[in-house]
Amino acid sequence: MKAISKKFRLTKKVFSFPYILFLLLFVVVPLVLILVNAFLDADKHLTFDNFKVFFGSASSMIVLGNSLLVGVITTLLCLLIGYPVAYILSNMSSGRMLVLLYVLPMFINFLIRTLATKAIFMALDVELGMGTVLFGMVYNYLPFMIMPLHTTISGIDKSYIEAAQDLGANKATVFLKTTLPLSVSGIISGITMVFIPTISTYAISQLLSNGKIFLFGDSIQLSFEQGLYGVGSIMSLVMLAFVLVSNLIMNKFNRNSDAVRRSLW
């Protein structure tokens, strides 16, 4: 007993072990596998051909561009719809409850929701295409925009608003000069949480455009389905690079804005 207690002491560190193990198994190892696969051909020989295949084909570049475009448009739409909603909700005493209503659809699996959306569009005779894809994207990712915005806006001290009024600002000026700048951290979290998943998403575009619109996530899935592990791996790495770059840009913005406090939500 004594010997064991000498070797193994229950410190705070110990509680992180399960998570470290999880990270190793499901994040680090797959990443290494992807990295290795990117440099292997079908016969497991070292090669750079995969890069040539991916960067040389115009179609995969178009898919990548499309993905980024859909991501940007979806994020902008979410922001335009989400900000007013979050602003109104945070000024309501029952706002917290109503935010839950916006989150409630997330309790249902997104595939089921997307299939249902598709069924509704078909029933209404709406032509499936870019419009329906964007609708599905916004519908899926809007809660991720509203949540951080609501938290940030309702966290703004009311005395800032009163101070601005006191100094002669009318309602519009109060919003532009205090509420908006003070909610920058929320806007950035919202953008991060919508943009990154949208550029990597799959299935939504395929289902809601009847396979007409093909996004990056879909083509990664396709490559792996077709056994093109090398090309799929490279695509994944490209995606990862985009995620990292956008995260860095967001973080920089956030630091510049010197927001009240940084919160994930």
> Which residue from 81, 115, 184, 240 is in contact with another protein, where contact means CB under 8 A?
184
169 binds another protein (CB under 8 A): yes
Shortest Å distance, C-beta 173 to another protein: 6
Shortest Å distance, C-beta 256 to another protein: 11
Closer CB to another protein, 47 or 257, in the complex: 257
94 binds another protein (CB under 8 A): no
Shortest Å distance, C-beta 162 to another protein: 5
181 binds another protein (CB under 8 A): yes
178 binds another protein (CB under 8 A): yes
Closer CB to another protein, 41 or 162, in the complex: 162
106 binds another protein (CB under 8 A): no
**Which of these segments, 7-15, 106-114, 167-175, 243-251, binds another protein (CB under 8 A)?**
167-175
165 binds another protein (CB under 8 A): yes
Shortest Å distance, C-beta 246 to another protein: 23
Would you give the end-to-end CA distance of the chain in angstroms? Answer: 46
List beta partners, residue 40. Answer: 46
- Between residue 231 and residue 260, which ones bind another protein under the rule CB under 8 A? 257-260
127: which 2 tokens? Answer: 């032509």
Shortest Å distance, C-beta 164 to another protein: 7
173 binds another protein (CB under 8 A): yes
**Residue-by-residue DSSP string for the chain:** -HHHHHH----GGGGGHHHHHHHIIIIIHHHHHHHHHHTB-TTS-B-SHHHHHHHH-HHHHHHHHHHHHHHHHHHHHHHHHHHHHHHHHHTSTTHHHHHHHHHGGGGS-HHHHHHHHHHHHHHTTPPPSHHHHHHHHHHHHHHHHHHHHHHHHHHS-HHHHHHHHHTT--HHHHIIIIIHHHTHHHHHHHHHHHHHHHHH--SHHHHHTTT-S--HHHHHHHHHHTT-HHHHHHHHHHHHHHHHHHHHHHHHHHHHHT-S-----
Hey, how many other C-beta atoms are within 10 angstroms of the C-beta on 237?
Answer: 17
**Which of these segments, 95-103, 109-117, 155-163, 190-198, binds another protein (CB under 8 A)?**
155-163
User: Around 233, how many Cα atoms within 13 Å sit in the side-chain half-sphere?
Assistant: 21
Closer CB to another protein, 59 or 94, in the complex: 94
Shortest Å distance, C-beta 168 to another protein: 4
Closer CB to another protein, 16 or 173, in the complex: 173
Which residues are near another protein by CB under 8 A? 157, 159-160, 162-170, 173, 177-178, 181-182, 184, 257-260
